[in-house]
């Protein structure tokens, strides 16, 4: 039992990857706070049923779980999510920031409300819940944050400026947490999950290429992300922090982070004309194409 005696919070744990991770943590011995407000993929409505179904699944094999129906996108509510862990289980060791919504739109058609609502759940929610847990982790001198990022943020995607910005922002947030809290033995890492579920089920599948991509995605079930999440949450990962991992079926990838690729210099400085004539031609062989995740991850899942 890799997580025996540990207490975890999993946001967005009513379905998909969140539910799979919550169940996986419980099977590894953790007591789990299931946070989910039961809204639709676009953040509308609300129901207690998804969280209750996850709790019932955990109880079915003798695990312990409690429910929090508070929203991650509000600071006061985020503190209540953490408070649920303390009230129900006495302490907290693990936070998995998974909650999210989608409101896709082409950039020039995206409404400000579509932008703010997605960032509020993904990025603000990850900050609020992590920040609410941070004093507890600091005081006990241990803790693990696991954040869900996306290839839409790491690589790019069409029609997801809000989601992509939030998911890349989560990477920077995770790295900052890892740096700021390393002296307290608190770790922070990201998982970029490739999995078929609610967040990917709206991918268009009309052209042969799109249909082929969707069929590849369907092979990558949410459960494939569980072993890595359990490991990163455990004390066995005490030396792993500030990293970005991706999971594609049975493949685990360590993702790169921004570092210099190539440089040019002139002793007498630059002008717009010398940049045009010399600087950009020297740098352009290392330019990135306007790739999307399916362009970068073109091979079949292992």
Cβ neighbours, 10 Å, residue 244: 20
User: Is the Cβ–Cβ distance between 235 and 4 less than 8 Å?
Assistant: no
CB under 8 Å to 256, separation ≥6 — which residues?
244
Helix and strand tally (H, E) in the chain?
12, 8
3-state secondary structure 8-55: EEEECCCCHHHHHHHHHHHHCCCEEEEECCCCCCCCCCCCCHHHHHHH
**Is 288 noted as a catalytic residue in this protein?**
no
Candidates 163, 196, 231, 297; catalytic one: 163
Residue 21: name the closest of 36, 41, 40 by CA: 36
- Give the active site residues: 163
């Amino acid at each position: 039992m890799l997580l025996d005696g540990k207490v975890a919070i999993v946001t967005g744990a009513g379905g998909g990857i969140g539910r799979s991770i919550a169940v996986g943590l419980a099977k590894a011995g953790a007591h789990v706070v299931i946070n989910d407000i039961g809204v639709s993929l676009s953040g509308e409505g609300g129901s207690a049923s998804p969280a209750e179904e996850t709790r019932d699944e955990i109880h079915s094999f003798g695990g312990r779980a409690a429910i929090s129906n508070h929203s991650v996108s509000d600071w006061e509510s985020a503190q209540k999510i953490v408070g649920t862990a303390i009230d129900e289980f006495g302490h907290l060791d693990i936070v998995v920031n998974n909650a999210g919504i989608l409101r896709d739109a082409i950039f020039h058609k995206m409404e400000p409300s579509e932008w703010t609502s997605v960032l509020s759940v993904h990025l603000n929610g990850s900050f609020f819940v992590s920040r609410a847990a941070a004093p507890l982790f600091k005081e006990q001198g241990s803790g693990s944050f696991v954040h869900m990022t996306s290839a839409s943020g790491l690589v790019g995607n069409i029609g997801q400026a809000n989601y992509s910005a939030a998911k890349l922002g989560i990477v920077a947030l995770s790295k900052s947490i890892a740096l700021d809290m390393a002296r307290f033995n608190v770790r922070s890492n990201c998982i970029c999950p490739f999995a078929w579920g609610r967040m990917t089920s709206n991918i268009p599948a009309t052209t042969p290429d799109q249909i082929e991509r969707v069929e590849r995605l369907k092979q990558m079930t949410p459960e494939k992300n569980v072993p890595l999440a359990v490991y990163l949450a455990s004390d066995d990962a005490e030396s792993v922090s500030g990293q970005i991992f991706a999971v594609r079926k049975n493949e685990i990838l360590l993702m790169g982070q921004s570092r210099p690729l190539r440089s040019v210099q002139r002793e007498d400085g630059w002008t717009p004309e010398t940049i045009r004539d010399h600087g950009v031609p020297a740098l352009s062989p290392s330019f990135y194409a306007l790739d999307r995740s399916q362009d970068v991850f073109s091979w079949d899942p292992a």
